[in-house]
Amino acid sequence: MADEHDTIDALLDEQRTFPPTAAFKEQALVADTSLYDEARRDDEGFWARQAADLVTWHSDWHTICEWELPFSKWFVGGTLNVSENCLDRHVAAGRGETVAFHWEGEPGDTRTITYADLLTEVQQFANVLKGLGVGKGDRVNIYLPMIPEAAVAMLACARIGAPHSVVFGGFSAQSLTDRINDAEAKVLITADGGYRRGEVFPLKPAADEAIADCPTIEHVVVVRRGGNDVDMVAGRDHWYHELMDGASADCPAEPMDSEQLLFLLYTSGTTGKPKGIMHTSGGYLTHVAYTHKYVFDLQPDDVYWCTADVGWITGHSYIVYGPLANGATQVMYEGVPNYPDNDRFWAIIEKYGVTKFYTAPTAIRTFMKWGAKEPAKHDLSSLKVLGTVGEPINPEAWIWYHTNIGGGRCPIVDTWWQTETGGMMISPLPGCTTTKPGSATFPLPGVSAEVVDDEARPVLHGGGYLTLTRPWPGMLRGIWGDPQRYQDTYWSRFEGRYFAGDGCKLDDDGYLWLLGRVDDVMNVSGHRISTAEVESALVSHPSVAEAAVVGANDDTTGQAIIAYVTLRGGLDASIDDLRTHVAHEIGAIAKPKTIYFTPDLPKTRSGKIMRRLLRDVAEGRNLGDTTTLADASVVNELQRRAAEVPTED
């Protein structure tokens, strides 16, 4: 056991529990501990069964896992094609008319795309790429809005063995330049523009600016979506629709080695040299198909909707590869949740009869701010399972989600995983796990996780560092072009353990509670306090919709807790009220020294709060890079308020 303050103080104590209902258990894919028991007996054998059951192989593997720490290979010797697994086999099985995507554009235009439709378009675009000189091993960059062509491009690359690197459409030209140059990409796929908040945001001009410094780009393919004017460079730039008009719809899927590089994905928020996370084919596809099927209790009549963007790992794993490998019917939406009104998500759920819904805690807290009246306008009775992804969810947001979106009847799967893990690692299984609001519960079958202290000793109760102790099929295979950086970043802190920087605590029942990045842990008078726990305490106040907490330098306590709070519409609270509330919830040591009230928080376009900027505001520094913010004016308003608000004693 760790001594007091060796790791991270565990302050919140959530006692509410939510077992699965008898009705849900009766129809669930997993309603007992059988999967856990199987994986505990033989984790490699367990993963091999998932690979055999969920993936179609051209040739069998001879070795389940080769593990030379920190490098792993899975299903060695086996061959498959990821695109074929996501498309051809469903069509061959007579499910070609099953809807793959109900796509809805932000202006309200729609497309219904069947698996047969998608297969045709993917084969055509694979031939387009071949015609542009793209072959096996060549890298292709994708810089698109949330339109079906994004999935088409990814699957076409997978079909011919060309690793793709998707860059979120909200990233700047410089970010795109860095990622293209690091991957030495040959082709860029982009669009004229896309829709966001009722207006077209241009992409092609940013792409043009980016590739001015990218000598490896030979061709640019442009999808017409926004209708905005763009410059087309003769010989280099090509309209997607024109290339597709002359493309054959016959492009057989080529068998690929299980360890064939499927994609590079660059971690967000990287400073300096971009960090290209490498994911391969057989192990990754097995992992995402397995977790998507069982975590969402996927049933034949489900309509599944993940609100992420394909530019992030969630979009790769749980919009494109996992759901399509499982033959799921999905919703894909282009725009923001509040256009034209704050109930757009709930209108979409009602319209398409969504049964499984996966979104971020940041979005849920925004919905709280807008009020329960918005979902109440719509019939959400089709929903059966709710999911969260991206960061720890505070208990009050969990309860709000359960009550107002799930009608008190839907299990919530709070999932922990990372770009690096490829797929979900810690999550409830909705038919057999009793959940606690705010806890991701337990490692999934086949996953080995352990909380340790500073000396790598197991923590049996309380706070510490989350580590993974065994290889898993979806794990990253390294950092593109920099194996030493891979070793240093993920494997050097605790010998023989994967550690990517998250704090975690174990409660009396063995439940795991993610505490966020250890970089965000505050050291207050010798107490190491998680920002996530203080934020949860603040949001548990009935007037608070959202909160962000940072530690700022303090001459007396080392660091002082600084809080930024957004109130629910029409409600009020004082600084004293909130400080007293935090003290009551988790102790006086966690009371914020200063609280700023703000109508919004600085967030990236993917919804993550940029605490680095909040620390800059709290300590009066010049702000760093704000180009990835959804609304850069938010930090200016915070700076103004910081100059006006007195410090509490």
Identify the pLDDT of residue 5.
40
Domains along the chain?
Answer: 22-503 (3.40.50.12780), 521-642 (3.30.300.30)
Residues constituting the chain:
649
d(Cα 460, Cα 271) in Å, to the nearest integer?
35
CA-nearest of 84, 628, 55 to 287 is 55
Identify the pLDDT of residue 4.
41
CA-nearest of 212, 190, 186 to 203 is 190
Average pLDDT, the chain: 91
In tens, the pLDDT along 225-256 reads 999 999 999 999 999 999 999 899 999 999 99
Three-class secondary structure of residue 33 per DSSP: coil
In tens, the pLDDT along 378-432 reads 999 999 999 999 888 989 999 999 999 999 999 999 999 999 999 999 999 999 9
Identify the pLDDT of residue 595.
92
Identify the pLDDT of residue 270.
38
d(Cα 406, Cα 400) in Å, to the nearest integer?
9
Other C-beta atoms closer than 10 Å to the C-beta of 241 total 11
> Tokens standing for 142?
């994708």
More confident residue, 631 or 526: 631
Q: How confident is the model at residue 269 (pLDDT cuts 50, 70, 90)?
A: very low
Cβ(413)–Cβ(296) under 8 Å? Answer: yes
Three-class secondary structure of residue 511 per DSSP: coil
Identify the pLDDT of residue 627.
57
**What is the mean predicted confidence (pLDDT) over 626-634?**
65
Of the listed ranges 487-491, 509-513, 632-636, the least confidently predicted one is 632-636
Q: How confident is the model at residue 626 (pLDDT cuts 50, 70, 90)?
A: low
> Tokens standing for 514?
């993610």
Verify cis geometry, omega within 30 degrees of 0, for the bond prior to 340.
yes
Dihedral, 72, 77, 78, 80 alpha carbons, nearest 10: 90
| Single pTM value for the model | 0.86
> For the chain, what percent of residues have pLDDT higher than 90?
76
In tens, the pLDDT along 511-553 reads 999 988 787 777 776 666 778 778 888 998 999 998 989 888 8
d(Cα 86, Cα 13) in Å, to the nearest integer?
43
In tens, the pLDDT along 148-187 reads 999 999 999 999 999 999 999 988 888 899 999 999 999 9
Identify the pLDDT of residue 253.
97
Parallel, antiparallel or unpaired: strands 219-223 and 199-202: unpaired
Q: How confident is the model at residue 10 (pLDDT cuts 50, 70, 90)?
A: low
- For residue 167, the one-letter residue type is V
